[in-house]
Amino acid sequence: SSVLKGGHLGIGGGGRTVKDSTCHSTDFEVHRNWLAITHNLPVSQWYYEATSEWTLDYPPFFAWFEYALSHVAKYFDQEMLVIQNLNYSSQATVFFQRLSVIFTDILFVYAAHECCKYVNGKRPGKELLEKPMFVLAVLLLWNFGLLIVDHIHFQYNGFLFGLMLLSVARLFQKRHLEGALLFAVLLHFKHIYIYVAPAYCVYLLRSYCFTANRADGSLKWSSFSFLRITSLGLIVCLVSALSLGPFAVLGQLPQVISRLFPFKRGLCHAYWAPNFWALYNAVDKTLAVVGIKYKFLDPEKIPKASMTGGLVQEFQHTVLPSVTPLATLICTFISILPSVFCLWFKPQGPRGFLQCLILCALSSFMFGWHVHEKAILLAILPLSLLSVESPKRAGIYLILTTTGHFALFPLLFTPPEITTKILLMLLFTVYSFSSLRALFRKEGPLLNWLETIYLIELVPLEIFCEIVFPLTPWNLKFPFIPLLLTSVYCALGITYAWLKLYVSVLTESVTVRQKAE
Amino acid sequence: MEKWSLMTITVLLGLIVRWTVSFGSYSGAGKPPMYGDYEAQRHWQEVTYNLPIKQWYFNTSDNNLQYWGLDYPPLTAYHSLLCAYVAKLINPDWIALHTSRGYESQPHKLFMRATVLIADLLVYIPAVILYCCYLKETSTKKKIASALCILLYPGLILIDYGHFHLGFALWGVLFLSYNWDLLGSLAFCLAVNYKQMELYHSLPFFCYLLGKCCQKGLTGKGLVLLIKIAFTVVASFAICWLPFCTEVEQILQVLRRLFPIDRGLFEDKVANIWCSLSVLIKIKNVMSPQTQLKLSFAFTFLTLLPACIKLTLQPSLRRFKFALVSCALSFFLFSFQVHEKSILLVSIPVCLMINEIPLMCTWFLLVSTFSMLPALILDGLLLDYVVTTLAFLTVCATSFSIFEKTSEEDLQLKSLSLSIRAYIPSFKAFPKIIKSLFIVSVTLMGILTSMSATLNPPQKLPDLFPVSVSVVSCLHFLFFLMYFNAIVLWDSRNGRNQKKIN
C-alpha cells in the first residue's frame, strides 16, 4: 500500500504538472490573491481588502496557512505576491501552486493510511487486490472528485479532507480529545465542515461525556463526567480563541462573519448543485412554462432574470413560494434530526457516528443555501469507509459516487479536459464497481435493475450534453439545457441514495434495539 | 477481480498518462522557421492533400523538400492523407497549401493529439493487450503487470507521433506466435511500408521464417510455405507502392528520400558507436563517405550474423524475440544515419520479454528513455520525463519484484555461467555483479539528468551534457548487445521444454 500512496502523489504530481499549460480556473487566481493579501497586509486588513473580487472568505487558520505558503512562494516568483497583479500566472507561479497542493496532500495520504487500519474485512481475500484495506485505499486516494477538484481545478481539499478523515480515525481509536481537536482546527480552516458539526457534538456528548451505558444500551445520566466535558469545551474554546481572537480584539468579528457567510448570493449558483432545490427549481420552471402555455399565468408578471445566468444573483420563483435562507436552515435542521436522534438514543460506537456524519453531510447538501456541487465530496469520502464493509452500503456508495462525480462534469468544459475527465471517470467507475463486486461476490448483485438502468443512462446523457447538443441550433437559444439536465438527473440519483441510506440506518438501529431487548 | 476489468483499468491508465503528457509542450513549439516534428506531420497532411501523388516525393515549386519533405514510405503518406481529409472537415486553414506553414493553435494541437491517440488505440494498444492476455504459462497477475508496464513505457509516451509501425510489428509477432505465418508476414510488410526503420527487424523475421521452412523440409511443405510467404510479401509491397509503380523514376526518387545516403554517418547526438567514437577520433574527417558506408555495413552485419544464423538453424519463438532485440540493437549501434528515436525499435521487442527477465528489461527501458534525454529537454518535456520514468520504475519494481529475482536462472544466463564455470570453477558472481551495476547505472542516470536540467555547460564544451548522455547510453547498449547475444547463442532450450516461469 505504500506503492499506492506513492502512486497517488505521483499521479497527482504528474497529472498536475503536465496540465500546467491548460487553462487555469478562477480558483487559481483566488489563491494567488490570498497569498498576496496575507503576505503584504497586516492582519487587521485581511478581511477588509477588496482590490480583487475574490475576497478572503475562509476562516483565519486558512489565512495563516496562506501566509506561511507566501513565505515559500517568494523564492519562486516575487511578482505573484503583489496584490495589484490580478490574474498573474507565470510558469513559476503555477508550478509553485501545484506543488503546494501535492505537498499538502501528504496529510491526506497519512489520514487514509490511518483509516484503512479500521476497516472491518470479514473475508480477507487471498490476493492483495481483494483485501478491503487495499480497495479502500484506492477509493480514497484516487477518488475522481478529489483529483478533479484539487488538481485539475485548484483547491486545497486534499489536506482538509485529510484532517477530517484523521479526526474520524482518532475517534475510532478512542482518542476522543485528539479527534475533537482536529475537528475544531478543521472548522477554522474551512467553515463548510460545520455541516457535520452536529454529528461530532452529539457523538462526543453521548459517548464520551457519558462514560457508561445501562444494560439495555440507554443513557445512564449518573455517569456524566464533568471533567470530560470541560476538557472538550476547553479545546474548542482554545482553538476558537487562537483563530478568531485577534479579530475579536480588533472588533472585526462582524466583518469576518459577513465574509464567511455571504447570504447575498442566491439559492443556487449558475450551475445548480444537484440537491433538493435543483428539483424544486426544475418543478417551478416547468410549472411556469406549462402555466404560460395554458394561460394560467400572465407572462408580464414573470421576472426576466434567468436562474441559470452567469452571475449569482437573487431571484424569485414564479409559481412555487420563494425560498429564504431561513427556510433552508429549517429544512436542513429537520432533515438532520432523525439521524442525530438515532445517534443519541442508540449509539453504536464510532461506526454509528460515521453514519450520522455522512447523513448530516448529505442532508446539508440536499437543503443547504448556495451549495456547491463539490460539497458532495463531504459525503462520498466518509462513505467509502463504510462501503468496503457491507454490501448494502456498497450499493448506496456506488450510486452516490457515480452520480456525484458525474455532477462534477460541468466544472471541466474545455476540449482537452473533456477527454481527461471522461477517462478518469471511467477509470474510477470501472475500478469501484469491479472491486466492490469482487469483495462481495458471495452476496449477490449490489444494485437492482432500476438502479443499474439509471446509472447506465448517464452515458447517453453525457453524449447528448457534450457532443450532440452543442451541434444543434438550440445551443444558442437555450444554452443552459445541458446544465439543467445534468443537475436534475443527478439530483434524482443523489436524493434516492440519501433516502436509501437514511432508511437503512434507521431500520438497522431499530433491529439493534429489538435485539437488545 | 476479473481479468477484463483489470485490463480495462490498465488500458485506461495508459490512455490517461498519454493524454496528459500530450498536453505538455510539443517538439518545435513556437520555434520558427523550421519548428519541429509536429510541424512536419502537419506539413505532410498539407502536401498529400493538395498535391497529386506524382509530386509527393519530388522537389517542385509547390513542394519544397528542404522544408520537411516526405521521407517515409507510402503508407505514412496515405495516413497523412486520411488525417488531412478529417482536418478539412474541421478547419481547412490547417492544411491550406503554403499559407498554413507554422500553424499553431489550441484546437489544432487537440486535433493532432487526437489523431495520435486514436492511432495508438486502434493498433498499438490492442496488440499489447492481446499479447499479454495470451502469454503462455504466466499467472493473471503477471499478465496484467506486463500490460501495465508496457503501456507505461515512458519512451513511447513522450514521443509525440503515431506508432503505427510498432503496432503493426507487434501484430506481426503476435501472429507468428500462433503460427499464422502469412498474416504475420503481411503485418510486418505493412510495418515496413509505414516506416523504413522497421527494416531493422527484417532479418530476424526472415531468418525465423526461413528456418521454419527449412525445418518443415525444403522439398515438401517447407517449400510451399516459402512460396506462400514470398507471394504475400511481394503482393503487399505491390499494393502499397501501386501509385508509384508507373515509372521507374518515381520508385527511385522515393528510395532516394527513404535512404539519404549522402547525409553522412550520423546527425546530432545519437547514442551510437560512431557518434561516441567521434569524441576521440573525428571519423567524418578521416574517411570518405563511401568508406564510412562500407565500414558501418560491415560492423552491423558482423554483429548480427551470429544470432541470425543460430535462429535460422534452430528457429524457436523465444529465440526469435531475443534475435529481434539483438539485431535491432546492432543496427542502432552501427548503422548509417540513425535517429535517436530509433531506439524505440529496440525497446518494443524488449517490452515483450518483460515478464521473463524483468530486471534486465526494466534496466534497458530506463536507459533507452534516458538516451533520448537531450531531445526531450529540447522539446520542453523534462518534467514529464522525470515523472513518467519514476512511475515506470516504481510499477516495474513492485509488480515484478525485480530486486529479489536476480538468480542466474532468472537472468537467463544459466547456460552461459555453466560454460564459464567450466574454465573458472568459482565463478558465481553474476547476480551480485548485475545488481550492483544496475544500482550504479540508475544513480548515474539520475545524476546526469539533474545536471543536464539544472547546470549550464562550460563555455568550451557547450555540448558536454548531450555528449555524455550519448556516450553513457552507448556503453550501456554495448553491454546489452553482448547480453542479448549471449542469451541467444548459449540458449539450448527448445520452445517446448521451457520450464514454468512464474
pLDDT in tens, A129-171: 677 888 888 888 888 888 888 877 778 888 899 999 999 999 9
Q: What interhelical angle do B164-177 and B202-215 show, nearest 10?
A: 20
| Lowest mean pLDDT segment, chosen from A269-278, B13-22, B354-363, B386-395 | A269-278
Query: Residue B19: its chain A contacts at CB < 8 A?
Result: 416, 419-420, 423
| Lowest mean pLDDT segment, chosen from A52-61, A397-406, B116-125, B421-430 | B421-430
- Disruptive mutation site among A9, A11, A18 for chain B (greatest number of B CBs within 10 Å): A18
- Record the cell numbers describing residue B37, joined without a space: 516534428
pLDDT in tens, A369-420: 888 888 999 999 999 999 988 899 999 999 999 999 999 988 887 877 888 8
* Dist. CA B500–CA B168, nearest whole Å: 29
* Dist. CA A105–CA B277, nearest whole Å: 48
- DSSP character for A59? -
Q: Give B261's contacts (C-beta < 8 A, 6+ positions apart).
A: B289, B293, B336, B337
pLDDT value of position B441: 92
pLDDT value of position B103: 75
Place of cell 498536453: B23
Q: Give A74's contacts (C-beta < 8 A, 6+ positions apart).
A: A39, A81
Query: Residue B362: which of B155, B136, B165, B169 has the closest Cα?
Result: B155
Check if A173 contacts B (Cβ < 8 Å). Answer: no
Residue A239 — very low, low, confident or very high, per pLDDT cuts 50/70/90?
very high
How many cross-chain Cβ pairs, A to B, lie less than 8 Å apart?
A: 76
- Sign of the C-alpha dihedral computed for residues B431, B436, B439 and B444 taken in this order: negative
- Record the cell numbers describing residue B286, joined without a space: 578521416
Interface residues from chain B to A (CB-CB < 8 Å): 1-2, 5-6, 8-9, 12-13, 15-17, 19-21, 23-25, 106-107, 110, 113, 141, 383-384, 387-388, 390-391, 394, 398
CB burial readout B78-95, b (16+ within 10 A) else e: bbbbebbeebeeeeeebb
Residue type, B346: V
* Dist. CA A459–CA B59, nearest whole Å: 50
| Lowest mean pLDDT segment, chosen from A166-170, A222-226, A362-366, B358-362 | A222-226
Residue A420, exposed/middle/buried by CB under 10 A (0-12, 13-18, 19+)?
buried
The answer to whether B9 contacts A430, with C-beta atoms less than 8 Å apart, is yes
- DSSP character for B429? -
What are phi and psi for residue B9, nearest 5 degrees? -60, -40
| Lowest mean pLDDT segment, chosen from A362-376, B217-231, B245-259, B345-359 | B245-259
3-class secondary-structure state, position B147: helix
3-class secondary-structure state, position B112: helix
The answer to whether B394 contacts A22, with C-beta atoms less than 8 Å apart, is no
* Dist. CA B380–CA B156, nearest whole Å: 16
Residue A305 — very low, low, confident or very high, per pLDDT cuts 50/70/90?
very low
CB atoms within 10 A of CB B383: 19
Choose the closest CB to B19 out of A3, A423, A430: A423
- Record the cell numbers describing residue A320, joined without a space: 412555487
Residue A46 — very low, low, confident or very high, per pLDDT cuts 50/70/90?
confident
Beta bridge partners of A348: A350
Choose the closest CB to B1 out of A18, A424, A438: A438
What are phi and psi for residue B137, nearest 5 degrees? 60, 40
- What is the C-alpha radius of gyration for chain A, rounded to an integer number of angstroms? 23
Of the CA atoms within 13 Å of residue B322, those in its CB half-sphere come to 26
- DSSP character for B120? I
Place of cell 485548484: A154
- DSSP character for A20? G
Of the CA atoms within 13 Å of residue B495, those in its CB half-sphere come to 15
Q: Give B196's contacts (C-beta < 8 A, 6+ positions apart).
A: B72, B73, B258, B259
Query: Residue A129: its chain B contacts at CB < 8 A?
Result: 1, 6
What are phi and psi for residue A451, nearest 5 degrees? -65, -40
Q: Using an 8 Å Cβ cutoff, are B142 and B355 in contact?
A: yes
Residue B283 — very low, low, confident or very high, per pLDDT cuts 50/70/90?
low
- DSSP character for B218? T
Residue B186, exposed/middle/buried by CB under 10 A (0-12, 13-18, 19+)?
buried
Q: Using an 8 Å Cβ cutoff, are A388 and A394 in contact?
A: yes
pLDDT at B255 over 70: yes
- Record the cell numbers describing residue B300, joined without a space: 552491423
**CA B362 to chain CA centroid, nearest Å:** 15
* Dist. CA A339–CA B424, nearest whole Å: 78
The answer to whether A438 contacts B390, with C-beta atoms less than 8 Å apart, is no
Residue B179 — very low, low, confident or very high, per pLDDT cuts 50/70/90?
confident
Query: Residue B272: which of B326, B340, B195, B373 has the closest Cα?
Result: B340
The answer to whether A423 contacts B383, with C-beta atoms less than 8 Å apart, is no
- Range A443-458 average pLDDT: 88
pLDDT, greater one: A310 or A191: A191
List Cα–Cα distances, B188 to A151, B163, B206, B306, in angstroms: 42, 14, 11, 23
Top-ranked range on mean pLDDT: pick from A140-154, A294-308, B465-479, B487-501: B465-479
Residue type, A8: H
Check if A55 contacts B (Cβ < 8 Å). Answer: no
* Ramachandran assignment for A315, one of left (phi > 0), alpha (psi -120 to 50 degrees), beta (any other): beta
Query: Residue B486: which of B427, B405, B438, B430 has the closest Cα?
Result: B430
Residue type, A139: L
The answer to whether A127 contacts B23, with C-beta atoms less than 8 Å apart, is no
pLDDT value of position A18: 47
Q: Using an 8 Å Cβ cutoff, are A464 and A439 in contact?
A: no
pLDDT at A500 over 90: yes
pLDDT value of position B150: 92
* In B33-139, alpha helices (H): 37-50, 74-90, 106-119, 125-133
pLDDT value of position B191: 92
pLDDT value of position A426: 93
DSSP A478-503: -TTHHHHHHHHHHHHHHHHHHHHHHH
- Range A198-223 average pLDDT: 79
Q: How high is the mean pLDDT of chain A?
A: 82
Query: Residue B331: which of B315, B318, B314, B344 has the closest Cα?
Result: B344
Residue type, B96: A
pLDDT value of position A373: 86
| Lowest mean pLDDT segment, chosen from A7-21, A461-475, B88-102, B286-300 | A7-21
CB atoms within 10 A of CB A124: 9
Choose the closest CB to A21 out of B6, B9, B23: B23
Q: Using an 8 Å Cβ cutoff, are A217 and A514 in contact?
A: no
3-class secondary-structure state, position A180: helix
pLDDT in tens, A93-118: 878 888 888 888 888 888 888 888 87
CB burial readout B118-148, b (16+ within 10 A) else e: ebbeebbbbbbbebbeebeebeeebbbbbbb
Check if A430 contacts B (Cβ < 8 Å). Answer: yes
Residue A427 — very low, low, confident or very high, per pLDDT cuts 50/70/90?
very high
pLDDT at B104 over 70: yes
Query: Residue B264: which of B304, B296, B301 has the closest Cα?
Result: B296
A29, A34, A35, A40 alpha-carbon torsion, rounded to 10°: 130
Check if A15 contacts B (Cβ < 8 Å). Answer: yes
pLDDT at B369 over 90: yes
* Dist. CA B197–CA A201, nearest whole Å: 70
pLDDT, greater one: B280 or B113: B113
pLDDT in tens, B133-142: 888 778 888 8
- Range B15-21 average pLDDT: 85
* In A250-296, alpha helices (H): 253-260, 276-293
| Lowest mean pLDDT segment, chosen from A86-90, A164-168, A278-282, B252-256 | A86-90
Residue type, A446: L
* Ramachandran assignment for B137, one of left (phi > 0), alpha (psi -120 to 50 degrees), beta (any other): left
pLDDT at A318 over 80: no
- Sign of the C-alpha dihedral computed for residues B302, B441, B360 and B413 taken in this order: positive
pLDDT at A22 over 60: no
Q: Using an 8 Å Cβ cutoff, are B485 and B408 in contact?
A: no
pLDDT, greater one: B25 or A155: A155
List Cα–Cα distances, B92 to A226, B76, B81, B162, B375, in angstroms: 79, 21, 13, 22, 31
3-class secondary-structure state, position A354: helix
* Dist. CA B297–CA B316, nearest whole Å: 27
ipTM score for this prediction: 0.85
pLDDT in tens, B410-463: 666 777 777 777 777 666 667 788 888 889 999 999 999 988 888 877 788 778
3-class secondary-structure state, position A210: strand
The answer to whether B12 contacts A423, with C-beta atoms less than 8 Å apart, is yes
The answer to whether B16 contacts A431, with C-beta atoms less than 8 Å apart, is no
* Dist. CA A460–CA A482, nearest whole Å: 12
∠ CA B340-B346-B348 to the nearest 5 degrees? 115
* Dist. CA B225–CA B176, nearest whole Å: 13
Residue A84, exposed/middle/buried by CB under 10 A (0-12, 13-18, 19+)?
exposed
Q: Using an 8 Å Cβ cutoff, are A224 and A169 in contact?
A: no
Residue type, A122: K
